A and B are shown apart, each in its own frame.
Chain A
């Protein structure tokens, strides 16, 4: 048990604040937990939100969220800083989401049904909700393929650069640039069309 605790958060060992206070395994373990908790508290909500926006299905998002963190905690990688930790987490999620989509046609159908149910819920709750939420925006985003959504989210919301996204997605930087360009162009085209049709209600 102890050995399994030692290897996964080797990322914690590289934190400077930890190196000063090493008194024993148990103490280190507690520190790792603390670091983990801090990281989790800071990133979990935005990470879940990212998965949810890509999948459009709460149940799937919960599954992928949990699986990503399990894999992350057990990963044997050396991580230099928090940004790298986040990038690694997104990398795991990227693969899990794509796996989920590819797995079977039945699941793909369920995946799409989940997205439609989500849109229906929003439509139902929208007018009563105090928070103005645009259904058009949700629909617009769903017009993109999951991979396109992921790339755009990573680049424009999370602010990762080409090199980082290429590493996350196991793609060459040059082909990633093309993929991202296409996704961006597609979204820009949709936005322009909507603007022409009477403006984006947001």
Chain B
């Protein structure tokens, strides 16, 4: 089985980090394939970092520390309000619409009943029809609200 770990690997790494390898470690490295790879990879990685840093970093502007701090704490309040507004937006239109339909329907029925039967509350037709009508209206109203609520919740979940 191929050797994957060397007990001296840690010491080699520390030595490389301090840029000082003891002679006995150097001797070990020349014989150990694991440590040989460790040295090769460590040297290459650090040379790569050095070169890439010189190329990439001088032209890079990073945000100011205070801006990041403010961003982290200001962001939560802002996004919460924004999310609530977004989530509730689909609810407003059906709410207004159902309210208007309900009021208009009531006025229309009352007017029609008064015109046709005189005193609406004495009419036998109205007493039979009105409960069914109210049940129907409320069923439609609540199912619309339920659907819209589900949609809003789903949207909010996505936002979060």
Contacts and interface: CB of A to CB of B under 8 A. Distances in A.
Chain A interface size, as a band, is 35 or more
B66 A33 contact: yes
Given A45-B62, A74-B73, A156-B46, 16 more contacts: A5-B73, A40-B68, A65-B62, A73-B68, A74-B72, A132-B51, A137-B48, A138-B52, A141-B48, A153-B45, A156-B13, A156-B42, A161-B10, A184-B37, A188-B40, A202-B51
B41 interface: yes
B28 interface: no
Chain B interface size, as a band, is 35 or more
A37 interface: yes
A111 interface: no
Nearest to A195: B40
Interface in B81-121: none
A134 B47 CA distance: 10
Contacts of B54: 131, 133
B128 interface: no
A33 to B, nearest CB: 6
B158 interface: no
A69 B51 contact: no
- Say what secondary structure dominates the interface of chain A: helix
Contact of A133 (B4, B17, B37, B51): B51
B65 interface: yes
Interface of B: 4-5, 10, 13, 17, 37-38, 40-42, 44-49, 51-57, 60, 62-63, 65-66, 68-69, 71-73, 75-76
A187 B41 contact: yes
A144 to B, nearest CB: 11
A1 B73 contact: yes
A74 B69 CA distance: 10
A153 B154 CA distance: 40
B45 to A, nearest CB: 4
B160 to A, nearest CB: 15
Given A49-B53, A129-B55, A187 B44 contact: yes
A66 interface: yes
Interface string A112-154: 0000000000100000010111100110110000000000110
